[in-house]
Copies of this chain bind each other. A is one copy, B any other.
Amino acid sequence: MPQSDIMSRQFPKQSVGLVSPQLFHFDEELKLRSGKVLKGFDLMVESYGQLNAQKSNAVLICHALSGDHHAAGYHSHKDKKPGWWESCIGPGKPIDTDRFFVVSLNNLGGCAGSTGPASINPQTGTYYGPDFPVVTVRDWVNSQVLLMKRLEISCWAAVVGGSLGGMQVLRWAISHAQSLQHAVCIAAAPKLSAQNIAFNEVARHSIISDPNFHAGRYLEEGVAPKQGLMLARMVGHITYLSDNAMRSKFGKTVEDFEAPGSNFGRDLRSGKLSYGFNVDFQVESYLHYQGERFSENFDANTYLLMTKALDYFDPSVDYGGDLSKAFSESDCKFLLMSFSTDWRFPPERSRELVNDLLKAGREVTYLEIDADEGHDAFLLPIPRYLEGLGAYMNQVFQKDCSNAA
C-alpha cells in the first residue's frame, strides 16, 4: 500500500506513489500439474488502494512473461521508472485505486522474490536451478487461490491480465468460476500457435546452448548465460512490436541515407554503413540494449519456465478440445481486448475466445483497439485502450462493489 513520506519527491499525481512489496509465506503443499509437489513457497505481493468492509472491491492483476508484482508506483524516491502497468493502475486510472483494492504478485517460478529457480531449495541448501519444477498457468492460479484465502477475499471483483496474464484470467474463469465477478483478458489467445511455440523454442535453445548455462546450475558456478538470455529477449522483443511500430520507432532505416557521393550516406546511428558486422541501424542497437538490460535483470531458468507455461496452456484439453465447454460453468462476465497490429496474439485469437464464450452463453464485451504498437500495446498508454478498460472497470465498480464502498 502507498506510504507517505515528508521527504518524498513528488510522484505524478495519478500514481499510487511509494509502495512496498510484502512477502507471503505458504506452508501449504502445492500439488503441481506435472505431478510434483512444492512443499511450501513464498509469493512476493504488492497491493494498492484499500479493501472495503465487504471485501467486494478486490482486483487481482496477473503478470505476463517478464512481469512481476511491481505493477504500479515506485519502490524508492530514486526509482526512475514506476511499475510495469503504471498506465492502467492508480488513482483515477482505468483500474482506479481510489475505488479498487488491487493485488499484484510475482508468480511461482519467477525471479522477483517469489519462490523460483533462483531461490534456495530448503531440501538441498542451494539454488533450485533446474530442479525447480515446470509450472503451468493452472499451478499459478492455484497458488493465487491460496493468496486470496490468506487475504480473506472470497471473490475478486475482477481478475485482470494481458498476454500470459490473460491466460491466467481464463484459467480463473474456468476453474474457479465462483471466485470472480469479472474476467478481463487482454491481448491473449486460447493457446499458442505453432509459430508462437517456435519462437519460444528459439529463446529456450539460445539459453540452453549458452556455455554459461551449465545445465541450469549457473548460479552455483557464479556465472549466468547472459548471451543466451540476451538473444532470447531480442527474438521476443521483435514479436512484441509490430512491423509498423519498428518502422516509426527507428525512422526509415536505409532510406534515410543521404544521396550518392557519400558512400551510401549516413545511417541513423553512426553516419555511415560500417561494411562490417558492427551495428549499422538503430533497430540493431535498440535490440542489443533491450537484450543486454534484460539479461542483467532476469533469471534464465525463470525465462525457460515462463515460456513452457505459455506453450502448455490450453484449457480446452480437459473438454475434448472444445473450449466453449470449458466456459460452460464460468458465471463471471468477460471483457476481452485485442490490438489491431498485435501479430503475437492477433485479434483473430481473441475473436476465437469471444466465439467460444458466446457459444457457452457467457456475457462478453469485446474491444478491438486500433493501435500501431503491436503486442506491446497492452502495456502502453493508448487513449482508446485506457478509455475502454476504464469504462468497463467503472461499470464493475458501480454494479458490483459500490454498495459496499
Q: Is A249's CB under 8 angstroms from B194's CB?
A: yes
For the residues of A in contact with B, the DSSP-based class is helix
A40 close to B (CB within 8 Å)? no
Q: Of residues 250 to 297 in A, which have CB atoms within 8 Å of B's CB atoms?
A: 250, 253-255, 257-260, 263-265, 273, 275-277, 279-281, 283-284, 287-288
CB distance from A212 to the nearest CB of B (A): 9
A203 and B288 alpha carbons, distance in the complex (Å): 12
Q: A238-B199, A246-B194 are in contact. Are A254 and B312 (CB under 8 A)?
A: yes
CB-defined interface of A289-318 with B at 8 Å, one 1/0 digit per residue?
A: 000000000000000100010011110111
Query: Which of B133, B194, B283 contacts A283 (CB under 8 A)?
Result: B194
CB distance from A14 to the nearest CB of B (A): 33
A311 and B198 alpha carbons, distance in the complex (Å): 24
Query: Which of B206, B241, B254 contacts A191 (CB under 8 A)?
Result: B254
Q: Is A311's CB under 8 angstroms from B281's CB?
A: yes
A229 and B281 alpha carbons, distance in the complex (Å): 22
Q: A134-B276, A202-B231 are in contact. Are A255 and B319 (CB under 8 A)?
A: no
In the complex, what residues of B have CB within 8 A of residue A260's CB?
317-318
- Of A199, A258, A321, most buried by chain B (CB within 10 Å of CB) is A321
Q: Is B314's CB under 8 angstroms from A254's CB?
A: yes
A219 close to B (CB within 8 Å)? no
Q: Is B287's CB under 8 angstroms from A202's CB?
A: yes
CB distance from A271 to the nearest CB of B (A): 14
Q: Is A257's CB under 8 angstroms from B201's CB?
A: no
In the complex, what residues of B have CB within 8 A of residue A369's CB?
none
In the complex, what residues of B have CB within 8 A of residue A264's CB?
33, 312, 317
Q: Is A255's CB under 8 angstroms from B194's CB?
A: no
Q: Is A194's CB under 8 angstroms from B275's CB?
A: no
Q: A134-B275, A312-B273 are in contact. Are A254 and B317 (CB under 8 A)?
A: yes
Q: Is A192's CB under 8 angstroms from B317's CB?
A: no
A35 close to B (CB within 8 Å)? yes
Q: Is A195's CB under 8 angstroms from B255's CB?
A: no
CB distance from A285 to the nearest CB of B (A): 9
Q: Is B201's CB under 8 angstroms from A284's CB?
A: yes
CB distance from A363 to the nearest CB of B (A): 26
Q: Of residues 110 to 151 in A, which have CB atoms within 8 Å of B's CB atoms?
A: 133-134
Q: A253-B191, A264-B312 are in contact. Are A319 and B259 (CB under 8 A)?
A: yes
In the complex, what residues of B have CB within 8 A of residue A33's CB?
264, 275
Q: Is B202's CB under 8 angstroms from A235's CB?
A: yes
A208 close to B (CB within 8 Å)? yes
Q: Of residues 147 to 161 in A, which have CB atoms within 8 Å of B's CB atoms?
A: none
In the complex, what residues of B have CB within 8 A of residue A304's CB?
277
**In the A-B complex, the 5 residue pairs with the closest CB atoms:** A194-B246, A34-B275, A254-B314, A209-B227, A134-B275
A-B contact pairs, 21 of them (CB 8 A): A33-B275, A35-B275, A191-B254, A192-B253, A192-B254, A193-B247, A194-B247, A197-B281, A198-B246, A199-B238, A201-B284, A201-B288, A202-B231, A202-B235, A209-B227, A255-B321, A257-B317, A258-B317, A259-B317, A264-B312, A277-B304
